Amino acid sequence: MNVRSRTHAFLRATPLRYYFHLIKGRMAGAPQSDESAILSRLVGQCPRTFLEFGFHPTEYNCIGLKDFKGLLVDGDPQTVRLARALLPSRIEARQSFITLDNIKGLGAHFPKLGVLSIDVDGNDYWFLKELLPVKPAVISVEYNASFGLKPVTVPYDGSFDRKQKHESGWYHGASITALTQLCKGHGYKLVAVSAAGGNVFFLPHGSEMPELDPAQAYRESTLRNRWSGTSAKEQWEQVKRLPLVDVT
């Protein structure tokens, strides 16, 4: 573990993290890239509700949806505590370690779902697959740029923790190709990719937005590359021998 990682782990284990983000949240909040701006363009006249799995109270994808009611779900109690201190009453924050056993109940929180956002650094593909029958109007899901264009996802593991799976933290989730194929099979098309190479966005096939080819839309993760000093190709070399599911 490098110095940056050790410092981050130390701060997460102390009250300093809570108060730092409390002050940060009182001043302003934003997504890590342009996810919020993309969602604002895509939502149109969809139901004014959102469900987001995996979040931070000052940096989450649906943060710009000011007239939406939302449910934010995360397994970290301090994250949820901070969210309850910062966020307006129209947004509920709930602590829950998400599994295939409980995600259907969470997915039924709103009778009609406008935006579904999934970024849990683990079972993203399997959770999305379980929730696609809910028919959200807009889908945002994190893809693992380290997997390149290979149609793969990690196997489902109810206790998935990417830090325990591999020291790099690059073994998690699914590729842009795997997620696009999954959504296409349920009537959705790829319409946008975040600038930093972290999230993909889907709309129903009947929408007017043009469909993107994942091979052309793919971007490496600029944040991951910068933090690690590696490329997606180098990241893949470190995790390619770990268990993967080919979804073709």
What digits encode the pLDDT tens for the residues 121-157?
999 999 999 999 999 999 999 999 999 999 999 999 9
Q: What is the pLDDT of residues 215-235, one digit of tens each?
A: 999 999 999 999 999 999 999
* Number of Cα atoms under 13 Å in the Cβ half of residue 206: 2
- The Cα–Cα gap between 9 and 21 comes to 15
- 138-142 and 199-204 beta bridge pairing: antiparallel
- The predicted model scores a pTM of 0.88
Q: What is the pLDDT of residues 25-38, one digit of tens each?
A: 444 444 456 899 99
Secondary structure class of 231 (helix, strand, coil)? coil
